Structure 1
Amino acid sequence: MSATQPAPRRAAVEALLTGLHSSPVEVETWERLEPWAVARVTLRGPIAPRTVIVKWVRTHPIETHAESWRLCAELAALRFLSDDLNLALTPRVIAADLSAGLVAMEDLAPRTALDHLLRRDGAAAHADRLVAFARARGELSAATVGHADTYHARRAALGPIDPAANLVGRFARLRGEALRQAAALGVPVTGPAENELGTVLAELSDPGPFLALSNGDAETNNLLLNESGPADARLIDFEFADYTHALVDAVCLHVPGPAWMSVGDPIATGLADHYRRALACGAPEAEDDRRYGFGLAAACISWAIVRLQRFALLDARSPGDGSRPQLVETLEAAARTAETCRALPHLTGWSRRTADLLRRRWPDADLDFTGQATFPPYTARG
């Protein structure tokens, strides 16, 4: 037993699976999947499967992500998707003991994370895998539209929740924080831009036909697929699962997430169309250019505002830190998306002015992100 496998946790896993199978189950090996509170566990005993993935609530005082509600969200979401919707897009829950802070789920190996493939080989080598990523995001939203009550009932059975407050509160904080940060930078959001920010928050807080389940972290590290042959994609990490605006999950195709300097042009590569067609299977309103475009622009601009709140942190870093040009490209990519969608012209202008200000303030971030030779799609931040 390794130092990262506390005896109480091992015993709890053995007890959980022994109770499930009514026969003794022993943990043979425990492979911690750092830095997460996740392990691949090899089992000994007359059971199948031989390996499972175990996820737990962190309890050590120096560790983060200790909130037990994260495990409740994961368990509710995975069972909702597999048991209520019969959707084979996520790992299957094998057993859970929330009092012990444990969930055991299907091991999806030999699938690997898409971001690993992109970092290793570049996006061009995995164009088909990126298509699978775009489709999976759209399919998740399409399948869950119209089923919010079922999910919330499952989630409420595991602990108190307030769906309306969660949805509205997630975006309401943006307005005050965005206005304060922008004013401090010298690019205040005023007049027509401030009015547009109000429409953005209204759209995201009241998604209407685009209300769908998200895992809360729509990035390539949370998609597992086969390296060769059929992709057979699966979405993972539902700790932040909740119902929100479906197009929040499309932002990752258009605007860099935390890991990337650039994500390229999803329209030219066709990724945007693959996502949109998948979403339209459950939300036909996605076929309406104006409705869809406004929602996408709102989601992308809101993400740029969220990332701008890191300005003070990045400003204190040394020149050459990759997070600085990443923030510039985040603002500019959000602006390009809004321009393509013909939406939010005043916030688009504000985004570009803010990016220009950061280019002047940080000469090391004054780079050409449109040059494919320097920043091909899915160039890692560092």
Structure 2
Amino acid sequence: MLLADGARALSAAWGRPVLLSGPQVLRTQSRCDVVRASVRGGEMATVILKHFRDDPVLGLDEWTGLELLGRLNLTTAPGLIAGDVATRLFLLEDLGTGPSLEDLLNGNDPRAATSGLLAVARLTGQMHARTLGVQADFDLIRHTLSPRPSRARIDNARYLLDHEDRLSRWVRATGAVEAPGTHEDLEVLARELADPGPFLAMTHGDMAPGNTIFTPNGARLLDFEYCGMRHALYDCLMWLLVVPLPDELITRAELSYRIACSQSCDAAQVDTSWMRARAIVAAARTVNLFQWIPPKALEQDREWAPGFSERAALLRHLARCRTVLEPQNPVPALSRTLASLESRLKERWSETPAFVWPAFQ
């Protein structure tokens, strides 16, 4: 059925009969299937079919993002070829095979891993520079497919405040101190997430190292399921905060991104606005991590990402957030709460090893 639905969509897009055959399952998860298929009678030898079974909102968000990038003639991602809303299916350009950034980080060549990260940072900055101020275009495409319940950045802001109690639970469980004014600082974060001003751009939304591919034509981003118009620096969290990387490489990645983004974003050229923007997203994401991981981690550590435990992730976020907040701190009360929490967790988890990618060992 998937191949038949895909063939119908391609036939309609290309204006002639097309057959799909030889399916190769690339990924199957609870929410989507990704399949490569051979094309007979079409304009290319193979295509990628992506079928969202259980989460049409994410599927249509990705469709919208890819269509917008195509209209802007950006090659940030695989090109969107065709789709069918009724069957929750769209078809993409097949970029072929190639290493991901995760593959490079897990390899034994630090120069390849370094150049790969810098290429992804530049590509991300270029995408943000070209998508500043396109909220209306994004909304029009999304509404034409199917109206979205709410904008992604509003969902992010609401989540931060709706689950404030989860951070408080961690504070109580560790014996840390919640500084007066923490709630007000969370409101500051939520407001700026909801309205990022000059930093509003189309973001990928899930910048994991595995969501990249290096092709003969350069780096590309994959899996735009969590894309949306939100704070541009949300994507920068990959190197600023989330992924364990050498400090020197973080600085280089940030500079590569900032130079690319500054081509169209005046605010990225101003140190004060830049420092505040990175502080906002870093603080919000650190709180999010304590909202996602329950205090059960105090009793038992679990894997958060391959080779990276929940405890290591929490300590990493706290340490990096503290570093990012130092130049300009828009949330002083929250930072005191996080500092108290970090102190308590470091006492408990003093034996937790820091994660190092094989490429940098």
Smaller-chain TM-score bracket: 0.7 to 0.9
Contact 1:215/1:240, CA 8 A, preserved across alignment:
yes
In structure 1, what is the equivalent of residue 279 of structure 2? 297
1:201-350 counterparts in 2 under 5 A? 201-226=190-215, 232-256=218-242, 260=243, 262-265=244-247, 269-309=251-291, 310-318=293-301, 322-341=309-328, 343-350=330-337
1:114 Cα offset (Å): 1.4
Contact 1:179/1:188, CA 8 A, preserved across alignment:
no
Contact 1:263/1:378, CA 8 A, preserved across alignment:
no
1:178 Cα offset (Å): 3.3
Counterpart Cα distance in 1 of 2:297 and 2:159: 21
1:346 Cα offset (Å): 3.9
Counterpart Cα distance in 2 of 1:343 and 1:42: 50
In structure 1, what is the equivalent of residue 44 of structure 2? 49
Q: Are residues 267 and 33 of structure 1, via their aligned partners in 2, closer, same or farther at CA, if it must alter by over 3 Å?
A: closer
1:318 Cα offset (Å): 4.6
Which structure 2 residue ranges, 5 or more long, are not aligned? none
1:50-129 counterparts in 2 under 5 A? 50-58=45-53, 66-83=54-71, 85-121=72-108, 123-129=110-116
Percentage identity across paired residues of the two chains: 23
Q: Are residues 304 and 379 of structure 1, via their aligned partners in 2, closer, same or farther at CA, if it must alter by over 3 Å?
A: farther
Q: Are residues 16 and 281 of structure 1, via their aligned partners in 2, closer, same or farther at CA, if it must alter by over 3 Å?
A: same
1:134 Cα offset (Å): 0.7
Counterpart Cα distance in 1 of 2:85 and 2:311: 40
Larger CA deviation: 311-320 vs 181-190: 311-320
Name the SS for the 2:246 alignment partner: coil
Counterpart Cα distance in 2 of 1:358 and 1:378: 28
Counterpart Cα distance in 1 of 2:198 and 2:271: 14
Contact 2:166/2:290, CA 8 A, preserved across alignment:
no
Q: Are residues 71 and 268 of structure 1, via their aligned partners in 2, closer, same or farther at CA, if it must alter by over 3 Å?
A: closer
Name the SS for the 1:105 alignment partner: strand
1:27 Cα offset (Å): 1.0
- Given the two structures, how large is their TM-score scaled by the length of structure 1? 0.83
In structure 2, what is the equivalent of residue 4 of structure 1? none
Equivalences, count:
351
Larger CA deviation: 247-256 vs 312-321: 312-321
Q: Are residues 129 and 199 of structure 1, via their aligned partners in 2, closer, same or farther at CA, if it must alter by over 3 Å?
A: same
Contact 1:38/1:53, CA 8 A, preserved across alignment:
no
1:189 Cα offset (Å): 3.4
Q: Per-residue CA shift, 1:106-151, capped at 9, x if unaligned?
A: 0111333211221233654321111111111211111110111011
Counterpart Cα distance in 2 of 1:33 and 1:136: 25
Q: Per-residue CA shift, 1:287-338, capped at 9, x if unaligned?
A: 1111110110110111111111203242343589822122111111111111
In structure 2, what is the equivalent of residue 27 of structure 1? 21
Counterpart Cα distance in 2 of 1:148 and 1:203: 16
In structure 2, what is the equivalent of residue 62 of structure 1? none
Structure 2 residue 39 is the aligned partner of structure 1 residue 39: no
1:351-366 counterparts in 2 under 5 A? 351-365=338-352
Counterpart Cα distance in 1 of 2:86 and 2:267: 42
1:68 Cα offset (Å): 1.1
1:76 Cα offset (Å): 1.3
Contact 1:253/1:266, CA 8 A, preserved across alignment:
no
In structure 2, what is the equivalent of residue 168 of structure 1? 154
Contact 1:264/1:376, CA 8 A, preserved across alignment:
no
The alignment's C-alpha RMSD in Å is: 2.7
Aligned amino acid, residue 294 of structure 2 = F
Counterpart Cα distance in 1 of 2:250 and 2:156: 32
1:204 Cα offset (Å): 1.7
Counterpart Cα distance in 1 of 2:61 and 2:248: 30
Aligned amino acid, residue 222 of structure 2 = I
In structure 2, what is the equivalent of residue 63 of structure 1? none
Counterpart Cα distance in 1 of 2:147 and 2:156: 17
Name the SS for the 1:237 alignment partner: coil
Q: Are residues 327 and 180 of structure 1, via their aligned partners in 2, closer, same or farther at CA, if it must alter by over 3 Å?
A: closer
Contact 1:335/1:349, CA 8 A, preserved across alignment:
no
Aligned amino acid, residue 163 of structure 2 = E
Name the SS for the 1:104 alignment partner: strand
Contact 1:26/1:44, CA 8 A, preserved across alignment:
yes
Counterpart Cα distance in 1 of 2:155 and 2:8: 39
Higher-RCO chain (CA-CA 8 Å, sequence separation at least 6): 2
Contact 1:39/1:53, CA 8 A, preserved across alignment:
yes
